[in-house]
Amino acid sequence: MAQVPVQSIHRDPQLFYWILFPITIVMILTGVLRHYATVLMASAPKKQDQKATREQRSLLHGINVRGNHHVLSKPSFTARRDALITAYESGAYLKNPDSRGQPPPNPMSDPNAMEGMMGMMKNQMAMVIPNTLIMSWINAFFSGYVIMKLPFPLTIKFKSMLQAGVATRDMDPRWMSSISWYFLCIFGLQPVFNFLLGSDNAASQMAQQMNQMGPQGGAQMFGPGVDPNKQFLAEAENLAVIEHHSVLDGVEQRLLAGIKV
Amino acid sequence: MPSEQELQISPIVQESLVHNSRTLYNLQSLTASLFGVSAGILGLESYSGFVFYVALSLVTAVLFYALRVAPTSLASGKPPLDTSRYFRGAYDFWAGGLMNGFAGFVLTWTLFYGLVTA
């Protein structure tokens, strides 16, 4: 079997100074810029009126009582449960008790909801605009030649991705053009941002997409279009079915078992 | 896995757990980039580079266990190589570095391989 000769291409060493480093530096600076733009554009939480706050807090109160019932003694848990269930079912904590039973308003017409969507739009914009700009910048200035060789072999399928704009049929797919260096930077710069900006930064769009998957619960709970009355009724039901036990049940036995004479 | 009652008697503080995992994640991603630098300078190619990365990640995990986790974990009566005093999953502790740092490793490996062999 004939050995396939290793392709070597003579490249100008200046390629590194004029292509590789500019792209990398621009990517890092864009990440830093995106981080600070997100920090600056983050709108402060809107002040809510007393009624709305009471509605949310009392629901959270019920949830916390349900989650931590084991640290309460039996009588105090029963007292809390009875008081909460009565208030929930009578609608005492509702923002406007008159609108019980009516369908919730259309979320599109609620100005608060529009505000939340604007925030999301701003985040999306902060992600999409720099990416588009950088990609078109790289395509305009640095396309049509290869700059580097990957240290590991790839199949021929990757050729069209890595060597976009280089129409050379027999070239090894390990050679990569500047646009593929850009993709590598997108995926691999997270540690650099962690190092520069601290670990909860907003620089990398990958991490942001991960975050968007995660904590949906908190935002959805008081989101627009959710009927608080229904939430209260469901919570009252949850509280009613709890089988109470305390952490102090049988504590004497545990203490005696733990003492070694 | 402890039962619900045991968890309620001696609860796990979520914030501490998150802080521990974040510290571990930072270490893993930073070391992965540095492994990429060394692999590139050594001029490793294809399989030897990946083997280098896997071996060094495991060495990092072992070192982290031996230096940071083991002293207090063994003293509190846990068996050796048990990380449950500080971390939730054993898999995340031992193999999580392979996932977390891979992209950073490939980036710096490519960069330094290209710089050195050009």
- Using the beta-carbon criterion (under 8 Å), do B8 and A152 form an inter-chain contact? no
pLDDT above 70 (res B70)? yes
pLDDT above 50 (res A65)? yes
CA distance A162 to A159: 5
Q: Is the CB of residue B16 less than 8 Å away from at least one CB of chain A?
A: no
For residue A176, report the phi and psi dihedrals to the nearest 5 degrees.
Answer: -125, 150
| Per-residue pLDDT, A234 | 85
**Which ranges constitute the DSSP H helices of A142-204?**
159-162, 178-188, 190-197
Pair B112, B52: CB distance under 8 Å: no
- Please give, rounded to a whole number of angstroms, the shortest distance from the CA of B81 to a CA of chain A: 26
Pair A149, B113: CB distance under 8 Å: yes
Of all residues in chain B, the one with the smallest CA distance to A206 is B103
Residue A225 or B46, more confident: B46
| Per-residue pLDDT, A217 | 44
- What is the mean pLDDT of the segment spanning B67-94? 77
CA distance A161 to A139: 13
Task: Point out the residue among B26, B39, B104 whose CB comes nearest to the CB of A199.
Answer: B26
Q: Is the CB of residue B49 less than 8 Å away from at least one CB of chain A?
A: yes
Taking CB atoms and an 8 Å cut-off, how many pairs form between chains A and B? Answer: 74
pLDDT above 80 (res B80)? no
- Using the beta-carbon criterion (under 8 Å), do A151 and B111 form an inter-chain contact? no
Task: Point out the residue among A16, A181, A187 whose CB comes nearest to the CB of B118.
Answer: A16
| Per-residue pLDDT, A219 | 47
The predicted model scores a pTM of 0.73
Contacts of B46 in chain A (CB under 8 A): 151-153
Residue A230 or B5, more confident: A230
- What is the mean pLDDT of the segment spanning B53-66? 89
Band (A223; pLDDT cuts 50, 70, 90): low
pLDDT above 50 (res B12)? yes
How many Cβ atoms are within 10 Å of A38's Cβ, its own excluded? 17
Of all residues in chain B, the one with the smallest CA distance to A251 is B9
| Residues 6 or more apart whose Cβ sits within 8 Å of residue B43 | B113, B116, B117
Residue A74 or A173, more confident: A74
pLDDT above 60 (res A212)? no
- Using the beta-carbon criterion (under 8 Å), do A152 and B40 form an inter-chain contact? no
**What DSSP string runs through A228-246?**
HHHHHHHHHHHHHT-----
Contacts of B53 in chain A (CB under 8 A): none
Q: What is the ipTM of this complex?
A: 0.76
Q: Is the CB of residue A187 less than 8 Å away from at least one CB of chain B?
A: yes
Q: Which residues pair with A149 in a beta bridge?
A: A175
CA distance A241 to A108: 36
CA distance A188 to A23: 13
Dump pLDDT digits (tens) for A124-171: 777 788 888 888 888 888 777 778 888 887 777 777 777 766 667 777
| Per-residue pLDDT, A230 | 81
- What is the mean pLDDT of the segment spanning A39-47? 76
Q: Is the CB of residue A20 less than 8 Å away from at least one CB of chain B?
A: yes
Band (B51; pLDDT cuts 50, 70, 90): very high
Q: Is the dihedral of CA B21, B23, B27, B30 positive or negative?
A: positive
- Please give, rounded to a whole number of angstroms, the shortest distance from the CA of A49 to a CA of chain B: 31
Query: What b/e readout covers B17-44, taking b as 16+ CB neighbours within 10 angstroms?
Result: eeebbeebbbbbbbbbbbbbeebbeeeb
Amino acid at A221: M
Pair A229, A91: CB distance under 8 Å: yes
| Per-residue pLDDT, B55 | 92
Q: Mean pLDDT score of chain A, rounded to an integer?
A: 76
Contacts of B40 in chain A (CB under 8 A): 151
- Please give, rounded to a whole number of angstroms, the shortest distance from the CA of A92 to a CA of chain B: 32
